[in-house]
Structure 1
Amino acid sequence: MDLSVNTYLKNLGGVKEIILNCNKLRELDISINFEDDAGNNHEREIICDEILNYLLNYSPRNFDEFSFNERWRFSVNNLKNFFEGWRGRKPIEFNPRFDKCDHFTQKHIEIVQKYYDEGVIDIDTRFLYSANNY
């Protein structure tokens, strides 16, 4: 089952429920809209990190593709922990859907590239190097 969601940050709890209860979920594409949401960047990062944790801990074994837009904010440490935890599962297609993203830093890109090189991620990530003009 493939699912695309366009939501506000405050509604991501519903996505958690889908991850917990949909045992045939294979692909998830989430676009977040922050425009009307209260909260600072740190709060947004915590919530986005929670979704990664839910994907890691509760997604079905056949889940293998996660796409997201430029409004996602992952902490560097949690992104690394997500890929470490994914090791041993079917490689994930980790699909950032953006041309430019100010908060997906060089450190984020290096982590994604590392896990692509190690076979944890199943999609070429070289295009990310142009996301912030690196």
Structure 2
Amino acid sequence: MFIDFLCRKCKENNIRVIFENGLNPDTPSSASITNRCIVVNTNWHSKDEVPFQFAHEISHILDGDDCDLSFYHATATRHSKIEYAANTGAIKLVLEYMSLNDISIVGTTFMDTFGIPNVLVNAVEEEVGKYES
């Protein structure tokens, strides 16, 4: 299961995870680089997206993003770059999981399976292209 894979990835990288079901359905999951901690909102309004959000937050920490301050001090361009990098990192985690479990990649149809938002179709195509090369 993908969530188990992500939990193992956190344990291997000394990342603490809090699964919280009491948050508002519109409150996104978040990560603190400083505290190496992720809060996953399991009450998110679109349950299918929770695993990818979890992977996205892991990516923030693994990339060493300064996302703790980005919401307050970063320009819109810098914030966008940080989020794009976390999204591509999350896609890479999906691809790693698929590879380890011999799950074949068929175009971008796996986006629905892993709750990857449609706005990321270009990033998915780019990462899958690199992965298949």
**TM-score, normalised via structure 1 length:** 0.33
The structure where strand makes up a greater share of residues is: 1
**TM-score, normalised via structure 2 length:** 0.33
The structure where helix makes up a greater share of residues is: 2
